[in-house]
Amino acid sequence: MSYPENVLAKDEQVVLHRHPHWKRLIGPVLVLIVATAAASFVAAYVNSLGWERTAKTVVSLVILAIWLVLIGWLTLWPFFTWWTTHFVITDRRVMFRHGLLTRTGIDIPLARINSVEFRHGLLDRMLRTGTLIIESASQDPLDFYDIPRVEQVHALLYHEVFDTLGSEESPS
């Protein structure tokens, strides 16, 4: 999914657009599998009992309702939150937008960035993800978690910042 062009200024170009790393979806997928298996097992057990058809139908509907609530809350909601979280680098700024019903965002002009760091532990290194830390002139450092290929994003952002500043120290 590309980032909406209507939030960009005239002649502004997207350099990088990322959603958080897919590792954020491991828990919701496991919940989906376990909840579906449990609901299927309980529904099969209820159907094997010698109850009246109406009782079986009511219990099956209750199982379905519980399954739908669990899946909606613990699987679909995290997925849509992941899908609507955007980390975008343009040739002018860094943008971060997140939220499904209530959207929040922050824009950091490249010219205001003082330093760019990244951090990732052993698991993050294996999954090629990490935390990007951006320190701007006017704020405390901002941490952006679960950025895929954080080292490449760090290098790209570093180059963009120096290109924007037109510094003689530019690595390019």
pLDDT at 171: 47
pLDDT tens column, 104-150: 999 999 989 989 999 999 999 999 999 999 998 877 899 999 999 99
Q: For residue 166, is pLDDT > 70?
A: no
Rounded CA separation 144/35 (Å): 31
Rounded CA separation 100/81 (Å): 6
DSSP label at 163? H
Q: Do 156 and 134 form a contact (C-beta atoms < 8 A)?
A: no
Rounded CA separation 143/167 (Å): 25
